Amino acid sequence: MTGDSPVERSCAQDRRIENRAFRKSLRRGALVVLFVAAGLLFCLAQFEARAAESAPSPHASLLSLASRHFENLTQAERSVLEYLDVKNVRRSGD
């Protein structure tokens, strides 16, 4: 078993071919994982951007928040919302 026999050389060549195929499949698998991870990160970034757009501003008034959901507010409802807003410093009795 010195490594010089044709059988041993053939086995060594077969192992090199198998190793090469194995490394190639590992690279393909790594690329697939990389693309899937990149796609997930992109989707997460899009989700976060949309969530940030739809989040109410901390400086938004109660009336503006309600107007987004209820388009036909009466004057009385608007007055109540303005009165109940925490930022309304003209309220009395608090």
Two structure tokens written together for 62: 């109660």
Q: Any idea how long the chain is?
A: 94
Q: Where are the domains of the chain?
A: 1-55, 56-94
Residue-wise pLDDT tens digits, 36-79: 999 999 999 888 887 766 666 666 788 888 888 888 999 999 98
Give me the helix-helix angle, 62-69 and 75-84, nearest 10°: 140
Residue-wise pLDDT tens digits, 13-40: 778 888 888 888 888 989 999 999 999 9
